[in-house]
Every structure is written in C-alpha cells, then in structure tokens.
Amino acid sequence: MKHVGSSENKMTSLPRKVAAWCIQHPMVAVSLYVAVVSLFFLIFPGVDFLASGLFYSASAGFSAQDVPFLRDVRHLGPFLVRLIAIVCVAVLLIKLLAPGRPPLMPLRMPVFLLSTLILGPGVLVNLILKNNWGRPRPRSVEEFGGDLPFQPVWKITDSCDSNCSFVSGEASAGMWLVSIAFLVPATWRKPVLAFILPLCLILSVNRVAFGGHFLSDTLISWGVTLLLILVIHHLLYVKQPPLVSDIRLDEWFTVNGRRLQRTGRRSLTKVRRAVRSALGKFSEN
C-alpha cells in the first residue's frame, strides 16, 4: 500500500513540477510548445482535415459562417483589441499634450501593449507569416470544395498571394489580450485570464468553424504570439536594467511635450502675425 501511495504521489507531483518549470522558463516552454505542435502537424497533417471536417458538409460547406450570432462573436475580439489600443494611444497623447501632468498610468504599460500588438499580430503574424507562407485557407483547398492543394504548416508556397491561412490573425489577436494579465495586480490575474482565455478559444474555434483557418494555424499562432509577448515583457519588466523605465518614458514625453508646446506657440504667433499683416494690408486698400 505504501508503494502504491508513493507512486500516486509521484504521478500527481509530475504535472506540478512541469508547471513550475514552465513558469520559471516561460520562453523556453513556449518555444518547445511551438516546436512540438509544428512537428505534430507535420507528421499528422490529417488532424487538420479531421478538425475542419467537423464543421464542413458537402452540401452546405462551412455553414457556421452564415450564422449571424457567430459572425457577431467574430467581431468581439477585434473590437476589444481596437478599444485597448485606442486607450493606450490616448494615454500617451495626453501625456505628450499635457507634459506637466503626471501620466494616467505608468507609461511602460501602454508602450508594452502597443509594442506587442504592433510586433505580434501586426508584423509577425499578418505582414510576415500570412503574406509570405502562402498556405491556402481550408475553404479554398480541394478537400473542402476549393481548387487549391492543401499545404502543410511552415511550407512556403505560392498557392496563396496574401492574407493567407498560416497563421491565424484572430487567434493571434485573442492571445494578445493575455498581455493584459501581465500588467494587472496579482490578485486580478486569475479573473482576467478566466475571461480572456475562453474568449481566445472561442474566437479561434470560430475561425476553424468558418473554414478560415486550420486547427494548426490557430495553435501555432497562439505560441508565436505568446512568445513575442514574453520576449518584450522580459525586455521591459524582467531584465535589469529594463530596456526602458517608467521614469525615462515620463522624462521623454515631458521633454518632447514641452518642445511640442513651444513649437505650437511659435507657429501660432507666426499665424497671428500673418493674419494681422494681411488684415492691415486689406484695410489700407
């Protein structure tokens, strides 16, 4: 009995050890995740067909894309991304236009969120991967009623010119929302993740159901986006000294905000003088 109990304890402690190791080495863990998932779908490409086939019928195609509720759900993720981006830009602009006032939040927060958004879903996913790897979307391949050949993950082809299937932009945007959890107080992280992670899953499954992406597109998109978030978070918050601090950012926006104010005052003075000169000449005539 003691031997059985000790074996059970070892089995239950193994997942905890793995989880603890992943927390201590997050970038390595996510890199391994991307490598393992990529290798799995390269060895078993049929899994992509099985996943997409759950939402496809020969008569109706990918009919989920015709459901109004599911179409509305698809727009929820981009709406939240735009909302957060607008708030971040507003925080930086307010500091720039009112340099004498303290910022609405530590400026590394909006810088972190905007840089991960631009470099992750923006540059890495949409500009580099989607526009250059050329993987046709499920609804475009021959197996699902299209006229293009299926292409495996990471294979660069000319089957698709731009905005292709590999990887998923919506899945990347959904995973990007996780970056908020890096910034909130520790007591808020679980509630934030309890909202964001299911939303990310729903948005990603939605794209598979619509025939817009393969399952592998979404899983790899999660990994590469999270890896980029971790790298930037390390540079801004973990690395000592950080790439840039809140104080340095505050100073930069204060200095350049005041410079902008002086430039604006000089420009306004010149405009007023020009207007007065023009009015004076007009009155003389």
List, in order, residues 6 or more apart from 78 with CB less than 8 Å away.
170, 173
Q: Determine, yes or no, domain membership for 20.
A: no
- For residue 258, the tally of other CB atoms under 10 A from its CB is 13
Token readout for 230 is 């971790």
Q: Determine, yes or no, domain membership for 120.
A: yes
Q: What percent of the chain has pLDDT over 70?
A: 94
Please give the residue range of the domain that contains residue 39: 26-244
Q: Determine, yes or no, domain membership for 161.
A: yes
Q: How much is the pTM?
A: 0.89
As for how many domains the chain has, the answer is: 1
Number of H helices, E strands in the chain: 10, 0
Q: Determine, yes or no, domain membership for 254.
A: no
pLDDT of residue 62: 94
- Could you read off the pLDDT of 39-95 as tens digits, one per residue? 999 999 999 999 999 999 999 999 998 898 888 888 888 899 999 999 999 999 999
- Could you read off the pLDDT of 100-110 as tens digits, one per residue? 899 999 999 99
Q: Determine, yes or no, domain membership for 200.
A: yes
List, in order, residues 6 or more apart from 248 with CB less than 8 Å away.
none
Q: Determine, yes or no, domain membership for 15.
A: no
Q: Determine, yes or no, domain membership for 48.
A: yes
Of 177-181, 208-212, 277-281, where does mean pLDDT reach its minimum? 277-281
pLDDT of residue 1: 45
Whole-angstrom distance, CA of residue 186 vs CA of residue 25: 19
Q: Determine, yes or no, domain membership for 194.
A: yes
Higher pLDDT, 14 or 104: 104
Over residues 137-154, the mean pLDDT reads: 94
Token readout for 265 is 């005052």
Burial class (CB in 10 A: 0-12, 13-18, 19+), 172: buried
